[in-house]
Structure 1
Amino acid sequence: MEIESTPHSAPLAQEHDEVSIFTKCKRPVVIQFEDLVYKIKNKDKETKKTSKNNGWRTILKEISGEVLPGEMLAMMGPSGSGKTTLLTTLAGRRSSSSIIMTGSITYNNTPFSSSLNRLTGFVTQDDILYPHLTVFETLLYTALLRLPKSINKQQKVSHVEAIITQLGLVNCRDNIIGDHYLRGISGGERKRVSIGQEVLIDPSLLFLDEPTSGLDSTTAQRIVSVVGELANQGKTVVMTIHQPSSSLFYMFHKVLLLCEGHPLYFGKQSEVMNYFSSIGYSPSVAMNPADFLLDIANGIVMGQLHGNEVEVKEELVNAYNENLREKIKEEIRGKGEEKRLEEKKGILKSNQKWNTSWWDQFTVLIRRDLKERRHEAFSSFTVFQVLILSFISGALWWKSKSLQDQTGLLFFVTGFWGSFPLFQAIFKFPQERLMLMKERRSGMYRLSSYFMARIIVDLPMELILPTVSTAIVYWMCGLKPMPTNFFIYLSIVFLCALVTQGVGLAIGAAVMDYKVATMLASVIMLTFLLAGGFFVQHVPIFIAWIKYISYIYYTFKLLLGSQYKENDTYKCGNKMMSCRVDEIPIIKVVGLDHQGLALGVMLFMFMFYRVIAYVALMRVAVAK
């Protein structure tokens, strides 16, 4: 079913009336974090040996703070100061292994939960979007997956149109997103689309990682202005930002300044300059406050390096400990307790883990994948590669009547469709890893609905090119002209391509690394190819077992069976004698018997490798 959009001429007021339930935060949330310490395990062996902390590195060092509904907190600091780590930790997205975290984080005096996760929006620094979808399609598919079933499709479409208008995306509404290789919308528009995906769910909490990175000052100001409007609606907004302009800096309500994991300041933006002046640090000339804060966080005083950066940083850390630490903790514990208890009642309490049913997720993902995958599956390079090899094969084996040549052709076809889909499939899950983790963490869909949609969409796309290639090769090369033989041959090629794809999906999901996956796939494919029965007829017993796990061997066996029978004969000995086909050395080694068993093994492999892929995906796609 195609997606229908509302007409552009629909009155904006009408759209807002239909979706007024999204415009104001109905469940305000207070974030409190106290004495937060975050350590990670060093992976480098040499570092572990020389480390004073038994191989653990401290990223965050006793950080405390509070963000109220309607406030926008900017976390600033030099690169490597721990901003992103703190942001992901506050958003409930910290890794579950190889870390130690102490201190407390509460949301309306309760820990993070799956219910709260559905009220949380997280905008990553890199915009993770499908390049071939339009702005409208990207936002609509997000709405269909993340908004609850209680909202009908027309309301979701209207809500998407309202968000597009609110974010200033009307002019690029029907333009594709694009990427490094495909021209699409601008960087600022991509960032607004990413924000729009999170705003769609009417989040109580909104986290943004470097939302202005790589953007010009005008675009950056527009994005922060939009985020500021969301905060004014009662949402709690936290963002990391590296070096904002002065106009951006004054938009923030609170500032947290970090230096090598240490807090140097937490409090109101309007009081930050007075605080540093009170401890003896103030700019000698008029300058952007954000630039001044980054300078002192780097140990730079009055714009000059004096070689005493370490001392400056230590003084600032000590000043924070003496002047702010206990004051902040007292405010967290005592200030606004009654208000926070009232807001606690507004948190969504639900045992329902998913906003939409499995079937709804599956059908939406099917439609989305069909729009995105067709560009990948039928790229001009892929189609050209298959067509040119098919015609070259047809020319080389043109109307061949030699059994030796025909068996060579059948093994070539086996090798091609036993490798081509493999190297197409191994990259699919690694390429989508970030997208899968992003969408799963936001609770968009079940892993099973994603996987099944992916498999179903790939099936017809993986079969069209083998059909075209077979139609060319089969008739050009003079194989048995009977329709029955042709369709059996085609079915075997289909099965080979699908099994090969399953192997690629399993390898890609298990490894999730392009180079390692390619190397592993090459070793497996070449091993199965050598054990396929064509190159080596006398295989030592200790290694002969490999052919029984080789899909190349079973495909070759089935293809031979599609053309020859055990009792078939051919003219040999200067065409004066009749010889049995199954006495040809290559066919004798592979055999024409047990065709049903070979078919059963291939069908088992078709399922087995996909189960392996799904299990492997569970390891990397668990929603945090």
Structure 2
Amino acid sequence: MPPPNDPYPSHDSPFTSVSSFPITLKFTDVSYRIKVERHAAKGGRLRRMFWSGSGPTSSSNLENQTTPHDERTILSGITGIVHPGEILAVLGPSGSGKSTLLNALAGRLQGHCLTGTVLANNRKLSKPVLKRTGFVAQDDLLYPHLTVRETLVFCALLRLPGSVHKRDKIATAESVIAELGLEKCENTIIGNAFVRGVSGGERKRVSIAHEMLINPSLLILDEPTSGLDSTAAFRLVSTLRSLAQKGKTVLTSVHQPSSRVYQMFSSVLVLSEGRSLYFGKGNEAMSYFESIGFSPSFPMNPADFLLDLANGVCQHDGVVSEIDRPSVKQKLVSSYNSILAPKVKAACMERTPTLASSHNVSSYPNNKQRSFVIFSSIWFNQFSVLLHRGLKERRHDTFNALRVFQVLAAALLAGAMWWHSDYTDVQDRLGLLFFISIFWGVFPSFNAAFAFPQERAIFVKERASGMYTLSSYFVARVVGDLPMELILPTLFVTILYWMAGLKPEILAFVFTVLVVLGYVVVSQGLGLFLGAVIMDAKQASTVATVTMLAFVLTGGFYVHRVPPCLAWIKYISTTFYCYRLLIDVQYGEGEGISSLLGCSRGSAAAGCKFVRDDIQGQIHPATSVAVLVVMFLGYRLVAYLALRRIKA
């Protein structure tokens, strides 16, 4: 039991729909500025692309708001307050700073560029508060092939405290499904643009359910109604209102709400170019703007009217005027600063009644051995859940019809081309072995290059929520890929080996399978390494293709006398070592085939050249195995270190 004076009591029991500890959020004079390099202000395309991809506002704002001092102001002195049981809606056009403000209030923006005060129950944001804060991003970052129930159960198993029993975590997920009205679609997959799944409104409710699993006191949502029709948006906001009525503090940004949705907001904050135009009750906004000389000439949705004003558009005698937008915005800002700002700041200065201040001291004993046992237990639980989730999600990609068809078609076509090839036809046999090396070098490395870039957004989101450690995620990903990635190569070799009439010995067949499987996991590691370092799917796949091209050209079949300046590539070529091992399985040191062809007597029989150049006097098999093992470990180690630089 937590001490009675703990302002943020811990939850060590299953979470229910009962209201959590209430939080009153106050934010005063919140400002956010970004320093921009001078050449970006002059139109540097790459810099604008960088900010539009990772910054909180668009590249157009970067050009429009960059000052002579190369500094862009995104938020300028934003003040407001929201109490438990209320919904505060942040309205404003695109680029007005809504998402940046929500990120700042959720504790996701740090550094000297952020100024102002954000208080939860009259105290600065702390870890206990952030643990009780749910943040729903604008984009629904969910695994497409998991069902709604699987998505939430896996999230509950990872996110709820380790002291909660597994069956209670599952019960919590089921209660959240019922609370958000997801029972009808709980066994439907999430889906995406290519796979049909739940509707947009249901997908957004699943994202909200992700955060509801921790029973947050403060729920922050970034444009949850984007992409939804009017009815779906109304149902979603109705759900948020029911959550607020249970004592939660809800803060959301909305781009263009309908009049029905607008009526459900307790209070409204209107932003324009990072500055406040209005803060107060939603049903008092129209009368305020009428008092300062702005009113619609005909009845209209209040939200539409507020957005027109935020864009500097006003109406005179029923005619829309867009002539002097800057003066309209300036008047709105000055009116807010003189009329509303003092009242809002006065409300924020009033102290909210809270329980006595106390810091919850960590309950971990000062015992390294016990701490290690606890950490190990948590790590293995995370690993097992992530492994289970990964197997369920990626089995659809690994065994989709096109990929299976691709492998089977390649095996059958190659088997037909090399149908019962002659053992003494060395050139054809070596061509087949090199084809196997090429196919199972390019195929897995190319696919693996997409792994981390495609999962980056979900990975960052879940790591930011503290769902798991990087090591448990990485090990689960690597281990989970092994059984799925090794089934198709085994099937490929089984078909091709006997169709092509390779060495008719079971031991030789087993060794061939093992060599190919080892080569596959090394090539996969190369793809993971490139994907983790580059973190762009298209660029990583391009680099993987070029790298494998270099490995193939220096692999030892096409060119035997590689130019000295390029000879070093051969020794880092995965294709070279796989090719050498496959040759050793079929021909050993070459004595047998040399005797059959009479090469030992200097005969010029066909194939002797390939025996001398490709089979005899080459690298020892043990060396090839050792190098592949080093590559297997090295590629994955570098991939792990590359993932560590990604900030959650």
Q: Is the 8 A contact 1:533 1:590 kept in 2?
A: no
Residue ranges of structure 2 left out of the alignment (5+ in a row): 1-11, 44-62, 365-373
How many Å separate the matches in 2 of 1:567 and 1:306?
Answer: 86
Q: 2:344 aligns with which of 324, 328, 336?
A: 328
Range with greater deviation from structure 2 (48-57 or 477-486):
48-57
How many Å separate the matches in 1 of 2:269 and 2:331?
Answer: 17
Q: 1:594 aligns with which of 620, 626, 629?
A: 620
How many Å separate the matches in 2 of 1:545 and 1:158?
Answer: 59
How many Å separate the matches in 2 of 1:412 and 1:41?
Answer: 53
- Which residue number corresponds to residue 82 of structure 1? 97
Matches within 5 A, 1:20-59: 21-42=15-36, 45-47=39-41, 51-59=66-74
How many Å separate the matches in 2 of 1:503 and 1:193?
Answer: 35
- Which residue number corresponds to residue 7 of structure 1? none
Q: Is the 8 A contact 2:426 2:611 kept in 1?
A: no
Name the % identity.
48
Q: 1:446 aligns with which of 469, 492, 499?
A: 469
How many Å separate the matches in 1 of 2:597 and 2:489?
Answer: 37
Q: 2:241 aligns with which of 212, 224, 228?
A: 228
- Which residue number corresponds to residue 398 of structure 1? 419
In 2 relative to 1, CA 366–232 (structure 1 residues): closer, same or farther, beyond 3 Å?
same
- Which residue number corresponds to residue 7 of structure 2? none
Q: 1:386 aligns with which of 407, 415, 418?
A: 407
**Structure 1, residues 11-52: CA drift from partner, whole Å, max 9, x if none?**
xxxxxxx98852233322222222111123447834158953
- Which residue number corresponds to residue 641 of structure 2? 615
Matches within 5 A, 1:187-198: 187-198=200-211
- Which residue number corresponds to residue 14 of structure 1? none
- Which residue number corresponds to residue 118 of structure 1? 131
How many Å separate the matches in 1 of 2:465 and 2:597?
Answer: 73
Q: Is the 8 A contact 1:146 1:355 kept in 2?
A: no
Q: 1:542 aligns with which of 553, 561, 565?
A: 565
Q: 1:377 aligns with which of 398, 403, 412?
A: 398
* Paired AA for residue 338 in structure 2: E
Q: 1:436 aligns with which of 459, 471, 475?
A: 459
SS of the residue 2:569 aligns to: helix
* Paired AA for residue 516 in structure 2: V
SS of the residue 1:176 aligns to: coil
Q: Is the 8 A contact 2:14 2:164 kept in 1?
A: no
In 2 relative to 1, CA 413–567 (structure 1 residues): closer, same or farther, beyond 3 Å?
closer
Deviation at residue 143 of structure 1 after TM alignment: 1.0
How many Å separate the matches in 2 of 1:313 and 1:435?
Answer: 38
Deviation at residue 351 of structure 1 after TM alignment: 7.4
Range with greater deviation from structure 2 (406-415 or 122-131):
122-131
SS of the residue 2:571 aligns to: helix
**Structure 1, residues 282-313: CA drift from partner, whole Å, max 9, x if none?**
22222211111111111111260241111101
**Structure 1, residues 459-501: CA drift from partner, whole Å, max 9, x if none?**
0011000100000111111211111211111111011110111
In 2 relative to 1, CA 44–429 (structure 1 residues): closer, same or farther, beyond 3 Å?
farther
Q: 2:445 aligns with which of 373, 397, 422?
A: 422
SS of the residue 1:541 aligns to: coil
How many Å separate the matches in 2 of 1:119 and 1:497?
Answer: 44
Matches within 5 A, 1:163-562: 163-302=176-315, 304-333=320-349, 335=350, 337-339=351-353, 341-342=354-355, 350=362, 357-401=378-422, 402-562=425-585
* Paired AA for residue 472 in structure 1: I
How many Å separate the matches in 1 of 2:611 and 2:15?
Answer: 76
Deviation at residue 356 of structure 1 after TM alignment: 8.0
SS of the residue 2:239 aligns to: helix
Deviation at residue 169 of structure 1 after TM alignment: 1.4
Q: Is the 8 A contact 2:23 2:120 kept in 1?
A: yes
* Paired AA for residue 551 in structure 1: T
Deviation at residue 568 of structure 1 after TM alignment: 1.7
In 2 relative to 1, CA 202–283 (structure 1 residues): closer, same or farther, beyond 3 Å?
same
SS of the residue 2:238 aligns to: helix
SS of the residue 1:130 aligns to: coil
SS of the residue 2:124 aligns to: coil
Deviation at residue 265 of structure 1 after TM alignment: 1.0
Residue ranges of structure 1 left out of the alignment (5+ in a row): 1-17
Q: How many residues align?
A: 599
How many Å separate the matches in 2 of 1:244 and 1:53?
Answer: 36
Deviation at residue 526 of structure 1 after TM alignment: 0.8
SS of the residue 2:278 aligns to: strand
- Which residue number corresponds to residue 12 of structure 1? none
What is the TM-score with the length of structure 2 in the denominator?
0.87
How many Å separate the matches in 1 of 2:402 and 2:268?
Answer: 51
Deviation at residue 584 of structure 1 after TM alignment: 2.9
In 2 relative to 1, CA 165–176 (structure 1 residues): closer, same or farther, beyond 3 Å?
same
Q: Is the 8 A contact 2:522 2:574 kept in 1?
A: yes
How many Å separate the matches in 2 of 1:110 and 1:351?
Answer: 22
SS of the residue 2:255 aligns to: coil
In 2 relative to 1, CA 137–354 (structure 1 residues): closer, same or farther, beyond 3 Å?
farther
Deviation at residue 111 of structure 1 after TM alignment: 3.4
1:569 aligns with 2:592: yes
Q: 1:72 aligns with which of 87, 91, 95?
A: 87
Q: 2:114 aligns with which of 101, 109, 112?
A: 101
SS of the residue 1:451 aligns to: helix
How many Å separate the matches in 2 of 1:348 and 1:307?
Answer: 58
* Paired AA for residue 389 in structure 2: R
Deviation at residue 73 of structure 1 after TM alignment: 0.7
SS of the residue 1:453 aligns to: helix
In 2 relative to 1, CA 66–492 (structure 1 residues): closer, same or farther, beyond 3 Å?
same
Q: Is the 8 A contact 1:38 1:100 kept in 2?
A: yes
* Paired AA for residue 172 in structure 1: C
